[in-house]
Structure formats: C-alpha cells, structure tokens
C-alpha cells in the first residue's frame, strides 16, 4: 500500500476513534492541548498498529 494512502486511512481511523471518545482533535490543537508534533506521532503510531480490524470493529459497534 502506498505510504500516503496508508497515512490518510489511519488518520481517518484515528479521527473516527477520537470522535467516538468525545474528542475533537482540531479543537484540541486550536486550544493548544495537542501539539502538531503529538498529533503526527499519534498518526504514525496508529499507522504501525497491527490491530486495524479490531479497531474498525470496535468503532462500528460503538
């Protein structure tokens, strides 16, 4: 899979997860509660995760 496509997919997965948990990542960054560096690190950590199926299943179930 193309690296940029994978990062886009994982960013979407992470955004959906944060919304399920009641977080607005854009708002968190705007209010300086989340730095761009921490956001990037979270996306990269998500991109390395091997539990994508479980994550998607959890999101669909909640």
Average pLDDT score over residue span 2-22: 89
What distance in Å separates the CA atoms of residue 10 and residue 49, rounded to the nearest whole number? Answer: 9
**What is the structure's pLDDT at 38?**
93
**What is the structure's pLDDT at 57?**
93
| Six-digit token string for 45 | 């950590």
> What are the residue boundaries of the structural domains of the chain, listed by start?
3-61
DSSP assignment string, 2-53 = -HHHHHHHHHHHHHHHHHHTT--HHHHHHTTSS-HHHHHHHHHHHHH-S-HH
Q: Which residue has the higher pLDDT, 39 or 62?
A: 39
pTM of the model: 0.72
pLDDT digits (tens, 9 = 90+) for 15-60: 899 999 999 999 999 999 999 999 889 888 888 899 999 999 999 9
């Amino acid at each position: 899979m193309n690296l940029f496509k994978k990062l886009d997919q994982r960013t979407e997965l992470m955004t959906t997860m944060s919304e399920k948990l009641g977080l607005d990542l854009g708002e968190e960054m705007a209010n300086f509660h989340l730095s761009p560096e921490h956001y990037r690190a979270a996306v990269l950590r998500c991109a390395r995760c091997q539990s994508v199926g479980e994550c998607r299943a959890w999101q669909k179930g909640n």
